[in-house]
Structure 1
Amino acid sequence: MSRAAHPEPNGPGNRADLGKDPASVSGMFDQVAARYDVTNTVLSVGNDQLWRIATTRAVAPRPGERILDLAAGTGASSISLARSGAHVVAADFSPGMIAEGRRRHRDVRNLEFVEADATDLPFDDDQFDAVTMSFGLRNVKRPKKALAELLRVTKPGGRLVICEFSHPPQPAIRSAYRFYNDRILPRIARAVSSNTEAYDYLNESIKTWPDQKTLADWIREVGWSQVAFRDLTFGIVALHRAVKPVVNPVSGEKPADRLDS
């Protein structure tokens, strides 16, 4: 992706729209990279750290494993995974995010940063023991293609964990959440963010993103098995898990899907 497609760092605020043009989305994240993690913590009232802990536990990284953290941003989720001793590849399509991540974590030997398009990953088949993506799938123009690419680069029997904003199933929680996003979040974003328009896009992208069951169906549709999800923070966020089927070397058949609790 050409850097010419991105706005100047000190230029006017840039935001993507729901067409999710990759250059526009990438440029938007370039502009907010320096303050991205702090802003997220403020806007989520600290829940982003709890969601990161839940995601790391779901991935269950182990020493010696190779793990892909896609849409890694500045590497906040990646560093949590790397503490296990696994080798973590932090991939993102925003050069600004990658640069910030390398600056912050350059001394972590088992963490590497790679610029990558989620729909055309620069990795060979069957490379990773686990793949994960936190709050990034929603920003991809072709999310099913990204899920298929994650399947391709995962080893048979390997694990998928997706952490993404979702829709609270309880009406009262859903109404309160919408009020927060519509009325409170924009005011906080104006106070703490370097690009408030980017957080208008955030709000819009959450509203139009499918619910938990629909995303689970997408994951299953592209070939993952043992697909399951659980709600975090009353369903404001959902944690999706799946496993890449192991093909029987004799029959060539995949095992039947099983929904975990």
Structure 2
Amino acid sequence: MSRAGLDKDPREVAAMFDGVARRYDLTNTVLSFGQDRRWREITRRALSPKHDERVLDLAAGSGVSTEEFARSGAWCVAADFSLGMLSVGRHRGVPMVAADALRLPFQDESFDAVTISFGLRNLVDTQAGLREMLRVVRPGGRLVVCEFSTPTWQPFRTIYLNYLMRALPPIARAVSSNPDAYVYLAESIRAWPDQRALAELIAESGWTDVAWRNLTSGVVAIHRAVKPS
């Protein structure tokens, strides 16, 4: 299976990411016109990891984001269910764990913060994933979600959606090790809730103080929340 469907069967999603692992980070940089680096930096600032904190980076892929978070002195673990992605990042020097986001292999209240970048959209059950993240974070702990979202300016939104469906797959064919996976990417972004709807979903999952910030005119949004004390 070269790409997953919008039913997001976990085995198909994992196999799809195994197929894109070899050139995944490069492809992301090309498709985002280099904005992925800026998005990671802003996500790190939103997470604000502190020295000696324990941070779970979920759907971490090759661990490029985990490595950035760890520069703060926090103990950061990369978790992903794609063994191919974890294998590509094994040189990064951060702990890596093969894990299903819906059944995390960690005890209750194990972490000070949890973050997931461009991975929440791929879970077969978004709320179940958010509740599992809530379980493994201590009371008062933090959640930061960086995910594709809905552009706020209507003319740009039209241009962006056309780019997703028409331009993104051809570009992916030039640089990706599994270009068909980026058809799924375009379809899953179009089907994903907007900023407010995702905030409501996070709150319904038990998190409090939910807020969001738009990046790149809403192409990406960062949502933050806190586990009730």
User: Do they superpose with TM above 0.5?
Assistant: yes
Residues 102-121 of structure 1 mapped to structure 2, 5 A cutoff? 102=90, 104-105=91-92, 108=93, 111-121=94-104
Q: TM-score, normalised on structure 2?
A: 0.98
In 2, the alpha carbon distance for the partners of 1:28 and 1:182 equals 19
Given the alignment of the two structures, is residue 51 of structure 1 paired with residue 51 of structure 2, yes or no?
no
**Which residue of 1 is the match for residue 72 of structure 2?**
84
**Which residue of 1 is the match for residue 22 of structure 2?**
34
Residues 1-261 of structure 1 mapped to structure 2, 5 A cutoff? 14-102=2-90, 104-105=91-92, 108=93, 111-246=94-229
Structure 1 residue 161, shift from structure 2 partner? 0.1
In 1, the alpha carbon distance for the partners of 2:197 and 2:42 equals 21
Q: TM-score, normalised on structure 1?
A: 0.86
The percentage of counterpart residues that share the same residue type is 59
In 1, the alpha carbon distance for the partners of 2:49 and 2:42 equals 12
Structure 1 residue 187, shift from structure 2 partner? 1.4
In 2, the alpha carbon distance for the partners of 1:194 and 1:75 equals 18
Q: For residue 177 of structure 1, what is the amino acid of its counterpart? A: Y
Q: For residue 138 of structure 1, what is the amino acid of its counterpart? A: R
Q: For residue 115 of structure 1, what is the amino acid of its counterpart? A: A
Aligned positions, number = 229
In 1, the alpha carbon distance for the partners of 2:153 and 2:223 equals 19
Structure 1 residue 227, shift from structure 2 partner? 0.5
Q: Deviations over 1:117-142 (max 9, x none)?
A: 01111100001011000000000000
Whichever of the two has the greater Rg, that structure is 1
In 2, the alpha carbon distance for the partners of 1:212 and 1:120 equals 26
> Higher relative contact order at CA 8 Å, sep ≥6: structure 1 or structure 2?
2
Q: CA RMSD in A?
A: 0.8
Q: For residue 136 of structure 1, what is the amino acid of its counterpart? A: G
Structure 1 residue 182, shift from structure 2 partner? 1.8
Structure 1 residue 98, shift from structure 2 partner? 1.1
Q: Which runs of 5+ in 2 are unaligned?
A: none
In 2, the alpha carbon distance for the partners of 1:23 and 1:201 equals 15
In 2, the alpha carbon distance for the partners of 1:132 and 1:244 equals 13
Paired residues of 2:5 and 2:184 also in contact (CA < 8 A)? yes
In 2, the alpha carbon distance for the partners of 1:163 and 1:25 equals 19
Structure 1 residue 213, shift from structure 2 partner? 0.6
In 1, the alpha carbon distance for the partners of 2:165 and 2:225 equals 33
In 2, the alpha carbon distance for the partners of 1:180 and 1:25 equals 23
